[in-house]
Amino acid sequence: MAKEGLTAFGAVNRYFEEAARLVDLDDAMYSVLTSTYREISVQIPVRRDDGGLTVVRGYRVHHNGARGPYKGGIRYHPTADLEEVRALASLMTWKSALLGLPFGGAKGGIQVDPTAMSPAELQRMTRRFTNGIAHLIGVYRDIPAPDMNTNAQTMAWMMDAYSAVHGYSPAIVTGKPLDLGGAPGREAATGRGVIYVLESHCERHGRDLAGLRLAVQGFGNVGSWVAREAVERGAVVVAVSDVAGGVRHEKGVDVARLVEVVAGGGTVPDTDQPGIDHIGNEELLESPCDVLVPAALGEVIDGENAPRVRAGVVVEAANYPVTPGGDKVLADRGVEVIPDILANAGGVTGSYFEWTQNIQQFTWKEARFNDELRDRLRVAYDATAAAAAELGCSLRQAAFAIGIRKVAEADRVRGYV
Ligand code: NAD
């Protein structure tokens, strides 16, 4: 997608540029870090259940691998083109570096509407795609994970397709089912991590998470866990939406009920709580609340609708939900933005825990997983807030600046640049 004259990758590079100025990056390093290292585009013929054939396109992009094997999710979505996948791969580079994880940045995607496909068709497509990128992935080379419209089942198929050739390889993907080497805690890690980061932010500003009113866009893996964890801590989820529309309840949407409705195949507007109002997706973003959590698509808050955002804090659970134009408007209005590379880093951090457990063939209890996750996100939040204060910049610029410094140093000391 492109907004405000920038492709998604152009927009992420705009954020990169703003931070690169703060760390005095030299021109050579600048050129390396604003482009991707390696890209593959593969044809994926999918045999349909009715005997027909649909040909779709898949991508895997390696942005930078100076700090470790490439790491990043795979999304199935009609907008998942090469520019979007590049943007998301770049964000992974900065996110892993900010968290101090030994990973580079990657992302993958298939440009397809998976909601129109049967489970058998999805399985055939996933296996074909895995075969198409098999020479690029590897336990110490590139480790995919779930993202939009992919889940533990998708990872199980990928692992099986890869293991059929290379032998049993659970560490080839993360976000797997528990019976296949998945880590207890990983499924919730991104959404739970968003709440850990928000807790750190509240602590720093002397606020209490309990009682805060949240509006959450998206009720998939990330959004549903954000809502559950928020309610568990006494926050009130006043509005939720998904692709089908949204709901709002001043006293709080019944999140447990919503989880049941969605698990049963329903959508957010299907929930049957008494006194609930139905709202549109745009309305959700402009809904009165203390904290707005976009947890679905990219580019949903831009220069046009940012003036109408009524939250005091925007927590970017989704990747790249705020365009540079939207970011500027929010900053001018004093709306604090906790950037994606910090806010949703619980996902890749949880994936790191799963990967290390697979390699060691050792399993942690979920309590240990959550404690480690909280600690690492707290350290990253504190470092980002401290850098923002020191550099006199936004949390986004500070988070990028920390990531850029680490990646540039790794590229330099390895002799790559
Ligand atoms: P998901 O497929 O589980 O859920 C996506 C949700 O977004 C669904 O509820 C869907 O209905 C909703 N949605 C789709 N289009 C929408 C629209 N136009 N308006 C409103 N809602 C819409 O995906 P996910 O894994 O929860 O990922 C959500 C976001 O979080 C993505 O931006 C992803 O890149 C990011 N993220 C995910 C992870 C992870 O571990 N899964 C990690 C980091 C970041």
Residue whose Cα lies nearest atom 22 of ligand 1: it is: 243
Residue whose Cα lies nearest atom 5 of ligand 1: it is: 220
Average confidence score pLDDT of the chain: 97
Separation of 82 CA from ligand 1 center, angstroms?
Answer: 19
Which two structure tokens, joined as six digits, stand for 79? 């907008």
- Cα gap 118→128, rounded to integer Å: 15
Predicted TM-score (pTM) of this structure: 0.97
pLDDT given for residue 1 in this prediction: 65
- Cα gap 89→184, rounded to integer Å: 26
Alpha helices in 244-391 (DSSP H): 255-263, 281-285, 324-332, 340-343, 346-360, 366-391
- Cα gap 213→235, rounded to integer Å: 6
Do residues 63 and 39 touch, judged by C-beta distance below 8 A? no
Which two structure tokens, joined as six digits, stand for 370? 């959550």
pLDDT given for residue 2 in this prediction: 80
Higher pLDDT, 33 or 4: 33
Separation of 7 CA from ligand 1 center, angstroms?
Answer: 20
Residue 406: active-site member: no
Q: Which atom of ligand 1 is nearest to the CA of 75?
A: 34
* Residue 82 reports pLDDT greater than 90: yes
Q: pLDDT (tens digit, 9 = 90+) per residue, 127-149?
A: 999 999 999 999 999 999 999 99
Average of pLDDT values for 42-53?
98
* Residue 16 reports pLDDT greater than 90: yes
Separation of 114 CA from ligand 1 center, angstroms?
Answer: 13
**Probe ligand 1: pick from 101, 194, 243, 247, max atoms within 8 Å of CB?**
243
Q: pLDDT (tens digit, 9 = 90+) per residue, 383-401?
A: 999 999 999 999 999 999 9
What DSSP line would sit under 198-218, residue for residue?
Answer: HHHHHHHTT--STT-EEEEE-
Residue whose Cα lies nearest atom 23 of ligand 1: it is: 148
Quick one: DSSP state of residue 73? E
Phi, psi of 136 (to 5 degrees): -100, -25
Residue whose Cα lies nearest atom 42 of ligand 1: it is: 347
Give the binding-site residues of ligand 1, using a 6 Å CB cut-off: 146-149, 190, 217-223, 241-243, 281, 295-297, 317-319, 344, 347
What DSSP line would sit under 206-274, residue for residue?
Answer: T--STT-EEEEE--SHHHHHHHHHHHHTT-EEEEEEETTEEEE-TT---HHHHHHHHHTT--GGG---T
**Probe ligand 1: pick from 110, 151, 190, 292, max atoms within 8 Å of CB?**
190
Average of pLDDT values for 47-65?
98
Separation of 84 CA from ligand 1 center, angstroms?
Answer: 15
CA distances to 63, 251, 259 from 287, rounded to whole Å, are: 36, 14, 21
Cα–Cα nearest to 300, from 277, 276, 317: 317
- Cα gap 109→148, rounded to integer Å: 9
Separation of 19 CA from ligand 1 center, angstroms?
Answer: 27
**Probe ligand 1: pick from 85, 91, 222, max atoms within 8 Å of CB?**
222
Average of pLDDT values for 93-109?
98
- Cα gap 383→375, rounded to integer Å: 12
For Cα atoms 412, 415, 416, give the angle at the middle one, nearest 5 degrees. 85
Tokens 């979920």, residue located: 366
Residue whose Cα lies nearest atom 15 of ligand 1: it is: 243
> Which residues 6+ apart lie within 8 Å of 259 measured at CB?
224, 228
Residue whose Cα lies nearest atom 29 of ligand 1: it is: 318
Cα–Cα nearest to 406, from 23, 54, 79, 52: 23
* Residue 171 reports pLDDT greater than 70: yes
Do residues 307 and 258 touch, judged by C-beta distance below 8 A? no
Phi, psi of 133 (to 5 degrees): -110, 10
CA distances to 119, 185, 368, 376 from 371, rounded to whole Å, are: 35, 10, 5, 9
- If pLDDT is split at 50, 70 and 90, which confidence band does 73 have? very high
- Active-site entry in 71, 95, 107, 176: 107
Residue 126: its H or E element: helix 119-133
Q: Around Cβ 414, how many Cβ atoms within 10 Å?
A: 11
Q: Which atom of ligand 1 is nearest to the CA of 321?
A: 32
